[in-house]
Every structure is written in C-alpha cells, then in structure tokens.
Amino acid sequence: MRRRDFLKKIPVAAGLPFAISGIPMKAMAWNPLAMLAQQSDNDRVLIILQLHGGNDGLNTLIPIEQYDLYYSRRANIAIPKQNSLRKAIMLDSTLPANQQVGLHPDMQALKGMYDNGRMAFVQGVSYKNNNGSHFRGRDIWFMGGGFEDYYPSGWLGRYLQQEYAALGTYPEDFPNPDMPDPLGIEMGNDVSLIFHQQGNIPTSISLNDPAGFAQLVEELEGFQDVDIDPRGKPPLSVQNSPYWHEMNWILGLEKKTDDYAQRLYQVYLAGGNTTVTYPEIYPFNAPRGSKRNPLSAQLKLVARLLAGGCKTKVFMVKIGGFDTHAEQVESYDPTMGAHAALMYHISSAMKAFQDDLKARGLEERVLTVTTSEFGRRVHSNGSYGTDHGTGGPILIFGKHVKPGVNGLVPDMTKDNVEMQYDYRQVYANLLKDWMLVDKAKITNDIFFGNFIDGENPDEPGTFFQPLFLALDVVTGTENFVASRFALNECYPNPAHTSTTFSFRVNATGTVTLDLFDQRGNRITQIINQVYEPGDHRVTHDVSYLSPGLYIFRMKTASFEAAKKLVITR
C-alpha cells in the first residue's frame, strides 16, 4: 500500500483506534497522560471502567435501610428484599443502619470480592447542578470541571502539561527505551475528552489484530511521486509553510504508529494465554444484544498486555446499555432483563479479571474505578424503566482498595439521588493515594485549585470531607475480613467426647465444616447448610475419633479457614 493511499484512507491518522485481538484501542502516547506515566517512579496502573448511558445506582446498591420507600417509588422495577428465589444480596451486616445496602442478585461475584476486601463503594457521586445530559455530563466528568466549565482538556491529561519540556522533545523523544509503550490505551471507537490536552490530539489506527496491524504498517512504502520527494518527506520548496508543518506532524505520527504497533504486538505475544475463564454469556433471560459480555475481552486483553511487559499507565474499558428509559427489567420479573445482564457482566468480568491479575502476579499493581455520566431518577416510569437523574454510586476494585461503603443510603423521598461527594473528590483522592501524585499538582494542575482538604468544608472550592479509597500497603484488609468472617478455635481443645465449633459469616449462604486427618483424608462433614449472617455454634460428638491431631476446615463462597483439633483419651 502506498503511504499516500494510506493517509487518504486514514485522514491525518487521528482519532481512529487500532485493534488487538479484535478489540479497538487508541494509544494516547502523545498527550500529557504520557508525561504523567513518564514522570512516575511506580508501576501502578489505573483502569477507568466507563458505564456508558447513566447507570441506575438504586438497582445496583439497593437501599435496604429505606426499602419500603424504595419499593413504593419504583414498585414495577424494585428488586425484592425477601420471599423470592432471586432477591437482593445483603452486602454487609456489620455496617450501620444508614449504610445498609444490598446488591442486585446477579452480582454474587462482586459480593465475594467485597467480602475479601477487594471492593469499595462511594454513594451519591455527582456534581453541582447536574443537568442529566449524556453529552454534557460525560464532558464534565471527563474534563474534571464543574457545570459552568468548558475545558478543552481532560483531568487525566493535565497533570504534567507544564512539565513536558523536562521529559525531552516531543514527539522526537517518544517512545524511548525507558518507556516504549503508549501511556494511555482506550478501548473503543471514539477519543474521550478525559485524555485530551489542548492542541494535542490522541491519535491511533483501526485494524483487526496485532499481526495484521504490524504487517500493514511494515508494508507502507514511501511516496512514489519522485517529483515530490521519494523519501516520504515534504518538499523543501514548502519548508516552514503550514503544509510542511502539518505533513511533518502526520509522518511523525505514522512513524510512531509503526513503533507502537510492533511493540504492542510483541507484548501481546509475550503475555500468553490466561489460565482464567472469563464469562462470555449472561446465563438467564435477557433482551437480544444483552447476552454477550462486552467487558471480558477488553479486560482479558489488558491483563495480557500487562503480563507481557506493557508499561501503559492508564487504560479505559467500556460497557454501554445503561440508558434504560424502557424495559430496564422484564415485566414478569424485576430481577431479570437488560440491567440485570449488565450487573452480571460487570460483576463476573471484574471477578475474572482480578483472578487473572492474581494468577499472573499483577494483582498488586492494578486498581479499577467506574465512571458514569449520571444516575437515574428515584421513581421509575410506566415503561419498566428509569429516566435521567443525578447522583449514583462509584465502584472501586483492587487488592489495594480500602474496602467498605462510603456515604449513606440515598434519601428515597427525593426525586433524585442527592450528591454526597463531588466526582472530583473521588478521582483526586485516587490520584493522591494510588497514583502517588503530589497533592500540589492535583490542586493546581488537574482540578485548578479545587482539591478537597476537608478542613473547611463550607469554604468555596472545597468538596466536603476527604476520602480514603486506596491503601499504599494492604493494611486493614485482614481486619476487614476478620470482622466479617471467622472460624474460631473449638472448645474444649484438646477434646475427649465432644467439642463446639464456632464461626461468623457476613452473608447468607452455604457453610461447610469438614474434619480431616493429618494426611488430608476427610473423616466426616460436620455441617453443610445455609446460615444467615451472624455468629453460630455447632457441637459435635468426637468420641468415635482415635487420639491424635486433626484439622477442621470451614468454607463459604468467599471465605476459607482451617484450624487444629487434638483428641485425647
């Protein structure tokens, strides 16, 4: 293919994604996000999970504490709390009453992540004077401004805008041996404002697979018109003209496309196939087009690239379908339908992703946070759906998340979910605590003086109290789990005729308690039944056991522990 034909078919090579393993991607190597990662001395990765269309947070986190009001405001779509095979999953019985929430019944995998200290929620996230517009709302969340702002850049693109010169001359010095990869990769077919810098456009190319992408770029020839310039450079006769500058810029991007194509293909191959099975299909009834999981392939690709040595700092993955004005649920069952499938897709794909990261030794490095332009109204409509609202929950995933629920159950007497946290408060704290960005840079360069201190919550330019969402080291996770699930020492121990086993669970579900000998052979199953959240005791006759050492092991869907039992005579 001739280079001239290539440029005709892909005008300016700008704004178009290339694809790896069939997933469209955009490589944001030439924006300030690249500088953010260049400057960073850690290998941490941030993933933005976009819920496109405005997620219904009230059917994601069901307000148990105000359940009667919740049901009265949206009876035709309300998730049942009891007396149903499919009902809300109680999230955490240890939370105070004004934070008691349940999960959609298709989010069982997410419940397991929470119980293991790998999840946090932030309730009531929005911005002042949210107008419920898809396009304007998305721009506001992406630019990192308020309802009156019109920034041409995004909050992830601004951090090192003024420090660009210290990293070398761009684009000549990028990529380089220290940073051979694009520093931001976005899945999908459009370029989001979140990565933009004024006057600096994210650029990429759309193809089907890494091998094909690399091959096409490799086969590009120089200009064939000798009268112009056989070297593929603008003619000297127009040097320093606008045409000359533009063509030099285009050809520079083309060269970078070659570099990144080869590099991403190499790391993709080096990453190898995963040992984890990602979910592909929603297992229950759902409208056409909602069955297949659109997140799995994207997240699997991210894990593979990171495993192959990709140093990309920020990824954006996307799932759409949240603009549920009608048929959000099935008329015959509010726990089924389009929104249920979306809840399953997020929960199951993120669980597989976390398992994949753990299996590849990457779990320490990655944190994922959701974004959605607005929530939905408190009341439902007559079409089994919900209309544009304001506030909603943000979900955060990862080993270094500070687990728990931030904020209170929304007020169900209102038309809209009220704002408890400005969205910038969430992202500013993640930049500070997870990405280890200097607080002054966040204050001055990213959110333009609106960083949240919490010292003067009523002072203009502040956003309420601070949030602690990420842990520099995993401290507190063990206590979080132990306060919710525990297997205690049995008593008496050593035992002669009988002993009592005691345990604590934080979720309704099946608990098994098995007894093993020293060789690992199971002697008997002491219990195998469903227990409600709380503390439980079971007495067991051990007179049939020979003297010696035994192991008793407790298992639930998300917790496992074992302890020793000594039998004497």
Note the pLDDT tens digit of each residue in 277-294.
999 999 998 888 899 999
Of 192-201, 291-300, 400-409, the poorest mean pLDDT is in 192-201
Q: Up-side HSE of residue 436: CA atoms within 13 Å toward CB?
A: 14
3-state helix, strand, coil in the chain (%, to 5): 30, 20, 45
Note the pLDDT tens digit of each residue in 242-275.
655 555 555 555 566 667 778 888 899 999 999 9
pLDDT at 325 over 90: yes
> Where does the pLDDT of residue 229 fall: very low under 50, low under 70, confident under 90, or very high at 90 and above?
very low
Alpha-carbon distances of 325 from 69, 118, 151, 377, 499, rounded to whole Å: 21, 32, 30, 10, 57
- The terminus-to-terminus CA distance of the chain in angstroms comes to 86
- Full set of structural domains in the chain with CATH: 3-477 (no CATH), 485-567 (2.60.40.1930)
> Where does the pLDDT of residue 529 fall: very low under 50, low under 70, confident under 90, or very high at 90 and above?
very high
Q: Which tokens sit at 436?
A: 């280890």
- pTM for the model: 0.85
Q: Which tokens sit at 254?
A: 């083309």
Note the pLDDT tens digit of each residue in 420-435.
999 999 998 998 899 8
What is the pLDDT at residue 181?
A: 76
> Where does the pLDDT of residue 548 fall: very low under 50, low under 70, confident under 90, or very high at 90 and above?
very high
119 vs 6, more confident? 119
- Over residues 47-76, the mean pLDDT reads 97
Q: Are 511 and 526 in contact (CB under 8 A)?
A: no
Note the pLDDT tens digit of each residue in 143-165.
889 999 998 888 887 754 543 33
Note the pLDDT tens digit of each residue in 469-512.
887 655 557 788 988 999 999 999 999 999 999 999 998 889 99
